[in-house]
């Protein structure tokens, strides 16, 4: 089978060589498309692929239509909002993710973001400590749970809101379940977002929630820009000059936010949550192994679509 690894943002070299080895040892061919300049390059490259591995690369209906032989696409990472699942379903193409494999890297970044904002983006002057502060985690999945663990280790009080986790999960980790999302925003000095981008969550974090935060509150986004109502974020930052926002996915109006709010806002130049060698190796090798296993045994354990 032909496996295409298509990553506009390339994996670390060690991850790529490990992926090639896994695929080739199982008798598959590997083609690599990195740092490609336009979606057309992906459309060209996918023409003869039986399997596709991507990161945040957009697997649109056009990409699927161009991939006549495609049987499986694996998003080496957690969020699969970049894959057109309807188009996959229509062709009975299996779509998978690699849940948890890059979670630690993202969780470490969330902790770093809290310290960075508490120390005035590492500019001279008196900052504050995160020890003793209260952190609210919105969605207690693989990343949220690791953020909680690390934050507790740093002396923070941690609460989380997630209606989907079984009762007792948070308590077992020393995390207090929040009664409501509003209650969590009202109580917490920091809110860390870990919800996926879905039709239900798009633009769900806006003025009403953000302005519930106590004085000096800081909102952290290592999830997706789509979950933020950006116009309302702007209004919240305007009306509440004490509130801060740091994101790993620049807002569409980021230049305007930077201009208006200076050091109260920060966006990483390019999404870097999962940009560690370890996360690349974990997610990349998992993706390659899942494809090998799928072709060998039909294993669809991490399938995210249904048809
Ligand atoms: C994910 O959903 O796994 C993260 O957002 C990482 O995305 P990336 O692979 O594009 O860095």
C-alpha 123/C-alpha 117 separation (Å) is: 10
| Residue 209 domain boundaries | 103-267
Nearest CA to ligand 1 atom 11: 274
Asked if 105 and 146 count as a contact pair (C-beta separation under 8 A), the reply is no
Q: Is 279 in the pocket of ligand 1 (CB under 6 A)?
A: no
C-alpha–C-alpha distance, residues 44 and 39, integer Å: 9
Residues 221 and 169 in one domain: yes
What is the Å distance from ligand 1's center to 144 Cα? 15
pLDDT digits (tens, 9 = 90+) for 207-253: 999 999 999 999 999 999 999 999 999 999 999 999 999 999 999 99
- Asked if residue 232 and residue 90 are part of one domain, the reply reads no
Mark whether 89 and 114 lie in a shared domain: no
Residue 115 alpha carbon to ligand 1 centre in Å: 22
Residues 140 and 152 in one domain: yes
Task: Judge if the beta carbon of residue 138 lies within 6 A of ligand 1.
Answer: no
Tell me if 33 is assigned to some domain: yes
Task: Determine if ligand 1 sits within 6 Å of the CB of residue 99.
Answer: no
Q: What is the pLDDT of residue 186?
A: 98
Same domain, yes or no, for 118 and 95? no
Q: Are 78 and 142 in contact (CB under 8 A)?
A: yes
Domain count of the fold of the chain? 2
The overall average pLDDT reported for the chain is 98
> Residue 55 domain-assigned?
yes
Q: How far apart are CA 82 and CA 197, in angstroms?
A: 10
Do 88 and 117 belong together in one domain? no
Residue 249 · residue 205 · CB < 8 Å: no
Ligand 1 centre to CA of 84 (Å) is 16
Residue 154, burial from CB neighbour count under 10 angstroms (0-12, 13-18, 19+): middle
Q: Is the CB–ligand 1 distance for residue 264 below 6 Å?
A: no
Report the predicted TM-score, pTM, of the whole model to 2 decimal places. 0.97
CATH, residue 10 = 3.40.50.720
User: Do 158 and 142 share a structural domain?
Assistant: yes
Same domain, 147 and 200: yes
The pLDDT value recorded for residue 87 is: 98
């Amino acid at each position: 089978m032909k496996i295409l690894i298509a990553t506009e943002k390339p994996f670390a070299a060690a991850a790529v060589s490990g992926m090639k080895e896994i695929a080739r040892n199982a008798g598959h061919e590997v083609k690599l498309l990195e740092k490609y300049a336009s979606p057309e390059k992906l459309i060209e490259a996918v023409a003869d692929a039986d399997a596709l591995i991507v990161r945040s690369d957009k697997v649109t209906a056009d990409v699927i239509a161009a991939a006549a032989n495609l049987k499986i696409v694996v998003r080496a990472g957690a969020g699969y909002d970049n894959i057109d699942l309807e188009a996959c379903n229509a062709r009975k193409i299996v779509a998978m993710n690699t849940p948890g494999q890059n979670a630690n890297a993202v969780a470490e970044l969330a902790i770093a973001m809290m310290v960075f904002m508490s120390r005035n983006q590492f500019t001279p002057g008196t900052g504050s400590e995160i020890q003793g502060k209260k952190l609210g985690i919105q969605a207690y999945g693989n990343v949220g749970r690791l953020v909680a663990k690390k934050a507790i280790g740093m002396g923070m009080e941690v609460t989380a809101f997630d209606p989907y986790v079984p009762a007792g999960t948070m308590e077992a980790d020393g995390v207090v379940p929040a009664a409501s999302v509003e209650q969590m925003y009202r109580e917490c000095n920091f809110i860390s977002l870990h919800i996926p981008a879905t039709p239900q969550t798009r633009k769900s974090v806006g003025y009403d929630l953000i302005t519930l935060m106590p004085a000096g509150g800081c909102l952290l986004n290592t999830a997706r820009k789509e979950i933020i109502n950006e116009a309302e974020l702007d209004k919240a930052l305007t009306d509440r000059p004490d509130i801060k926002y740091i994101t790993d996915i620049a807002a569409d109006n980021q230049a305007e936010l930077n201009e208006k709010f200076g050091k109260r806002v920060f966006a990483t130049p390019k999404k870097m949550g999962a940009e560690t060698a370890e996360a690349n190796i974990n997610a990349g090798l998992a993706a390659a192994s899942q494809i090998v296993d799928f072709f060998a045994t039909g294993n669809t354990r991490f399938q995210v679509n249904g048809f």
